[in-house]
Structure 1
Amino acid sequence: MKKELRFAFVIILLVVFQVSSQEKEIITKEEAIARALENNFGIKIARNQVEIAENNQGILNSGYLPRLRGQAGAGYDLNDRLTEPEDRENVDQKGIESNRYNASINVDYTLFDGLGRLYNYKSLKEQYDLSQLEARETIENTILQLMSVYYEIARLTQNIEVLQDVLETSQERVTRAQYQFDYGQTNNLAVLNARVDVNNDSINLLETRQQLHNTKRDLNVLLDREIIDKEFVVDTTVGFIPELQLEAFVEEAALNNVSLLQIEKNLNISDYDIKISKSAYLPTIDLTGSYGWNRNRSAATAFFPGSTTTTDGISAGVSLNWNLFDGGGTSVRVQNAKINYENQELLKKQIELEVKRNIANAWGNYQNKLYIFRVQEENVTTNQDNFERSEEQFKLGRITSIEFRQAQVNLLDAQTSLNLAKYDAKLAEMELLQLTGQLLNIKL
């Protein structure tokens, strides 16, 4: 009785899952990628870094614009004064007031700074390009992570379809075995074996459904969806890029791989760092200009009457500064910049070798996964044919339930292995596309 109740409970759960899976939102691969590009936290941070680099490489941060300063001031004095002339009486003055006012506008401009400003400006341009490449790398990694979760949902979805078919077949076995037992054509052992298989198939289906729900939550988090338990379905279709097109991508990988492009930018930046350091050997020429206004009012003294003086006018000047010797600081900076450039060259050689190795590995892995997928397709066809023949023989009573169950299990293994091989091959293709720099240029 307990077994029958347990069996009924499992069936009810499966029916509830089936009903809840109807009329769900469909998220295509394109929609998932678009949402990730819009909402993913890592991509948002990368874009903010690009925006900072864009601000840094603008004209307002270049040093080419003049500096304009405004100044103003006022002063007030209140004093007592005692004057003691030698040939006359003392003069004692109380509450003597005097005040001062001034205002000016000053312009400073560096006409020449040893070309350091020019190379720094070019370096900032390279840093902006580098930030864009870093953002691209973040986007590529996010898309790979996203699609690995997306295809895992697709794989589990198709596995559930397979497990549902298996469960339906097992349930038919229970019904058939029960009828045969009722009419005395078999013993109760066949019924019990059929029910055990139904229970096992039900458990496998329930566990796979739970894995599917967990993976869907992972995708909701990656897409920054507020409701992480929100239900949806995904597109399970998969297409592969022609091999000739992939070979062309591999041949052009040196021009498109994001790691190689980044190290090239770092080399350019290091080269500019050398030139910026060398600019300290040259003089700087500064231009200055100002317009000023001054007003002073002084109190009368024992010898002079009080007066008010107002002046205004413009002034301009040019200055040359040449640091003939700075204690060797410039020389050290130049040497260190050159060493850093050499390090970047060594790093470039290392990255080139690693990229070649990674592409070769990815290409071999992709071909292997694709071959396994093709073999699994044939394997499913063979096992499907074997299962159908076994089902006919089982209905005719020519094979045992154990032999029929084995054919059923073989078909199940072949179908789930096919699903795994299909999505493994697609992910291997995507990894190859990333290494060749084409992941963002191809419709997945």
Structure 2
Amino acid sequence: MIKLLLLFTLFQPGDTVLTEEKAIELALKNNFDIRLEKYNLEVAENNNTIGNAGMLPTIGVSGSGRQTIQDTEQQFINGEGQSRDGAKTTVYSAGASLDWTLFDGFKMFATKDRLEEISKLNQMAFKNQVQNALSDVLKAFYNTALEQERLALLESTLKLSEERVTISKEKYEVGKASKLEYLQAQVDYNSDQSALVRQQEIIAIQKLQLLQLIGVQEGYDSFELSYTHESSELLKDLSNIETEAIQQNPMLRQLRSQQEVSMLTIKENERERLPTLDFNLGYNYSNLSAEAGFLQSNISSGVTYGLTATMTIFDGMNRNRSIQNAKIQSEQSYTAYEQGEAQLRTSVRSGILTLQNAQTLANLEQKNLAVAEENVSIALERYRVGKSNPIEIREAQNNAVDAQIRYIEALNTIKIAEIELLRLTGGLLQD
């Protein structure tokens, strides 16, 4: 339905028309839920490195310098002695070290696989959030459009009531109608005006909510929606839509990825039972100078290296406990996937029924609307020539309004059902 071709023909302050495409572009850029989820994705991608998996060495450098001042009284074995006040001893040292785990039971590879899967998991979470945000925006867009349709309908009704007031006034002035009839026409006209004012308030609130979803805060006080109720090409064939949802739904794919993370966590914990082998390499330099003692100066430097093998024999059964917990979490993620799949199938089937029922209703209401509009036209003409009463024309007017409302509500239901089905199948955003 919507391709991610970010040309960003953005809705600027002062624009008077907001299209579906502009609303989507704004939401992709400014929607708070999308922006917040993007941070989680960036963190997961930053964590997906071989260094975080433990495959790279650790290199460090150190240096120090210290000086001591002491009063000394020394007696040597040969009978000689030495006494110094305020004797200074200065020591400088520096070193560099490299520590590298050469083998850890292949845990580092399992960790890297887990980090890779977590990155995929967050990608699915991000796509799911984008789908949900776009769904909310589009639903708010078309619900606002529905209220815009209601407003146009009320404006048309008000014009008809105004015409009725004019006719009744003319008839009253020439003595062909009572004042009661004229006053009743005015009452109905005032009632229609009140309904129009209430509808204007509803639209204003709906527009504010829409602007909040697309991430626009200020500078968009007045605009109209431009839209169509054309059906999506992606929903022409409903026979395979459930299969497509199982394969492509971002939330379900996220649950699949969570399963894989759980399995890799088990593997990661199991490999901690194996021994580890570390390589150590170091270089040290030391420079000592003293005003008292056997050594007046001592300079040393050299390289140290070696291998260290370690293996935990017993850790209070903590490793077994961690593996058992990881297996429980794996079973939990599998159950969550089964639950998600069942919920998805129910949602898709319900959505298809809603869509098909709304399409049937729209066809029926379209026929009813044509009859109701013709009835209003006939009733108004009969009233104009004095062959009907105010009750008859008001009833015809109300019937036409109700038919129009039912028709536009059916069209809106079709659109909302399509948006929901596209969300469930992952079709709102085509990469």
Question: Would you say 1:394 and 2:383 are equivalent positions?
Answer: yes
Q: Flag the structure with higher helix content.
A: 1
Question: Would you say 1:297 and 2:289 are equivalent positions?
Answer: yes
Pick closer, same or farther for the CA change 1:161–1:85 going to 2, 3 Å. Answer: closer
Shift of 1:284: 0.5
1:280 maps to a residue whose letter is E
Q: Could you say which residue in structure 2 is the equivalent of 1:37?
A: 28
- 1:329 alignment partner, one of 300, 318, 324: 318
Shift of 1:89: 6.2
Write the distance in 2 (CA, Å) between the matches of 1:172 and 1:393: 14
Q: Could you say which residue in structure 1 is the equivalent of 2:353?
A: 364
Pick closer, same or farther for the CA change 1:89–1:179 going to 2, 3 Å. Answer: closer
Pick closer, same or farther for the CA change 1:281–1:408 going to 2, 3 Å. Answer: same
Q: Could you say which residue in structure 2 is the equivalent of 1:10?
A: none
Question: Would you say 1:219 and 2:199 are equivalent positions?
Answer: no
- 2:135 alignment partner, one of 117, 138, 144: 144
Pick closer, same or farther for the CA change 1:174–1:291 going to 2, 3 Å. Answer: same
Shift of 1:171: 1.0
Q: Secondary structure at the match of 1:440?
A: coil
User: Which residues of 2 match residues 120-199 of structure 1 at below 5 A?
Assistant: 120-199=111-190
Question: Would you say 1:111 and 2:91 are equivalent positions?
Answer: no
Q: Could you say which residue in structure 2 is the equivalent of 1:245?
A: 237
Shift of 1:229: 6.3
- For the 8 Å contact 2:351–2:421, the answer to whether it is kept is yes
User: Which residues of 2 match residues 312-327 of structure 1 at below 5 A?
Assistant: 312-327=301-316
2:422 maps to a residue whose letter is L
2:403 maps to a residue whose letter is A
1:319 maps to a residue whose letter is T
Write the distance in 2 (CA, Å) between the matches of 1:219 and 1:432: 21
Pick closer, same or farther for the CA change 1:260–1:226 going to 2, 3 Å. Answer: closer
Pick closer, same or farther for the CA change 1:141–1:331 going to 2, 3 Å. Answer: same
Q: Secondary structure at the match of 2:270?
A: helix
User: Which residues of 2 match residues 416-431 of structure 1 at below 5 A?
Assistant: 416-431=405-420
Q: Could you say which residue in structure 2 is the equivalent of 1:204?
A: 195
- 1:155-209 CA-to-partner distances (Å, cap 9, x unmatched) read 1111121111111111111111111111122221221121111111111111111
Shift of 1:278: 0.5
Q: Could you say which residue in structure 2 is the equivalent of 1:13?
A: none
Pick closer, same or farther for the CA change 1:89–1:34 going to 2, 3 Å. Answer: closer
TM-score (norm 1): 0.89
Q: Could you say which residue in structure 2 is the equivalent of 1:343?
A: 332
Identity of matched residues, %? 28
Range with greater deviation from structure 2 (307-316 or 423-432)? 307-316
- 1:307-334 CA-to-partner distances (Å, cap 9, x unmatched) read 3222222221111111122222111211
1:366 maps to a residue whose letter is L
- 2:69 alignment partner, one of 62, 74, 78: 78
Write the distance in 2 (CA, Å) between the matches of 1:88 and 1:162: 119
Shift of 1:395: 2.4
- For the 8 Å contact 1:104–1:290, the answer to whether it is kept is yes
Shift of 1:407: 0.9
- For the 8 Å contact 1:249–1:438, the answer to whether it is kept is no
Write the distance in 2 (CA, Å) between the matches of 1:256 and 1:325: 46
Shift of 1:343: 2.0
Q: Secondary structure at the match of 1:59?
A: coil
1:183 maps to a residue whose letter is V
Shift of 1:240: 0.9
Q: Could you say which residue in structure 2 is the equivalent of 1:382?
A: 371
Shift of 1:123: 0.9
- For the 8 Å contact 2:84–2:292, the answer to whether it is kept is no
Q: Could you say which residue in structure 2 is the equivalent of 1:435?
A: 424
User: Which residues of 2 match residues 28-67 of structure 1 at below 5 A?
Assistant: 28-67=19-58
Whose RCO is larger (CA < 8 A, sep 6+)? Answer: 2
Q: Secondary structure at the match of 2:123?
A: helix
User: Which residues of 2 match residues 81-92 of structure 1 at below 5 A?
Assistant: 81-84=72-75, 88=79, 90-92=81-83
Count residues with an aligned counterpart.
417
2:99 maps to a residue whose letter is D
The CA RMSD measured in Å over matched residues stands at 2.0
User: Which residues of 2 match residues 211-290 of structure 1 at below 5 A?
Assistant: 211-227=202-218, 230-241=221-232, 243-290=235-282
Shift of 1:236: 3.5
Shift of 1:245: 3.2
Write the distance in 1 (CA, Å) between the matches of 2:315 and 2:149: 73
Structure 1: gaps spanning 5 or more residues: 1-22
Write the distance in 2 (CA, Å) between the matches of 1:60 and 1:253: 37
- For the 8 Å contact 2:242–2:345, the answer to whether it is kept is no
- 1:374-400 CA-to-partner distances (Å, cap 9, x unmatched) read 211111111112222222322232222
Write the distance in 1 (CA, Å) between the matches of 2:78 and 2:26: 97
Write the distance in 2 (CA, Å) between the matches of 1:313 and 1:221: 66
Shift of 1:86: 7.7
- For the 8 Å contact 2:114–2:264, the answer to whether it is kept is yes
1:213 maps to a residue whose letter is A
TM-score (norm 2): 0.91
1:71 maps to a residue whose letter is S
Write the distance in 1 (CA, Å) between the matches of 2:78 and 2:262: 79
Write the distance in 2 (CA, Å) between the matches of 1:300 and 1:165: 109
Shift of 1:90: 5.0
